[in-house]
Chains A and B, each alone.
Chain A
Amino acid sequence: MNCKTFHHFVFEYLDDTLDRAIKAKAEVHLQGCASCRGALDREQAAGRSLRAALQRSTASLSLNPGLHDRVQRAIAPKEKRPT
């Protein structure tokens, strides 16, 4: 495996969803390639900071208490009006 191929598989490598054979090749490549080890570290660090920031930026949001009733009303069968 070369750097370009590793780059192509970096997310699946992190997900641990690669075929066993490809994963083995990726590991061999990583052992010998400081550049790809660095890229992997950066990808993980970026992931951590993005996760934290996305969670922080939405942490204050909570559901409107009227949500349940509004949905309930929308899905309730329409009542027939007396003519």
Chain B
Amino acid sequence: MNQSAHRVPALPQATLDLGELIAEHGERLLRSAALLCDDLHEAEDLVQETLIQAMRGSARFRGECAVYTWLYGILLNLCRRHRRKQRRLIYNEDRMLSETAPSRPVTEHDQTYCAEGLALALRTLSQEHREAIILRYYEGLKIDEIARVAGLSTGTVKSRLHYALRQLAQVVPGELNLFGSADTQTHYSE
């Protein structure tokens, strides 16, 4: 209310409204981020940073793709950068310490999230394969859409999916394992 009285000189007409972005896409982004980076607090930070970048760059959004797809592209890049940084940190810590203590207490939130066998199974995949699975099965994207969002060829997307499914079939706990018998494996191996 008060803000509108002191409105700052307008930025190039922003087509996006922050409140709307959060209401329409916030939760879905958070959940996807949690799956991608495997840490709720990181996921919250990544979603926040995604929205900041989106709002700052909103003049560049031309509506060529759906708003969510655009946001997702930003999120995916941030996740990738975050994972790379994390890997360096782990490497450095490993060199200095023989054992690392958990950095924060496990919350109830975490427990629900980690209790899922699938979350654990996803953790065994490399970042690229995890991404492929999440884009396909959580985001429900078609092969060509995954290729566009992830910046890959459709051939790469397909081979990552085949590989990731094969890996998951080996590690997913029994009750989630609907991938069929070892037969799947022989069929898919090429």
Q: Footprint of B on A, CB under 8 Å?
A: 4, 7-8, 11-12, 15, 17, 35, 38-39, 42-43, 45-51, 53-58, 60-64, 67-68, 70-72, 74-77
The distance from the CB of B144 to the nearest CB of chain A, in whole angstroms, is 6
B: which residues have CB within 8 A of A? 8, 18-19, 22, 26-27, 30-32, 34-35, 40, 43-44, 47-48, 51-52, 55-56, 109, 112-113, 116-119, 133-134, 136-138, 140, 142-144, 154, 158, 161-162, 165, 168-169, 176, 178-180, 183-184, 187-188, 190
Given the complex of chains A and B, what is the CA–CA distance between A7 and B134 in angstroms?
Answer: 21
Q: How many pairs, one residue from A and one from B, have CB atoms within 8 Å of each other in the complex?
A: 118
Smallest distance from the beta carbon of B30 to chain A beta carbons, Å? 6
Closest Cβ of chain B: how far from A52's Cβ, in Å?
9
Say how far B13's CB is from chain A's closest CB, in angstroms: 15
CB-CB < 8 A to B22: which residues of A? 63, 67-68, 71
**Bound CA–CA A71/B81 (angstroms):** 20
Contacts of B190 in A (CB 8 A): 4, 7
Q: Is the CB of B137 within 8 A of A54?
A: yes
Secondary structure type dominating chain A contacts: helix
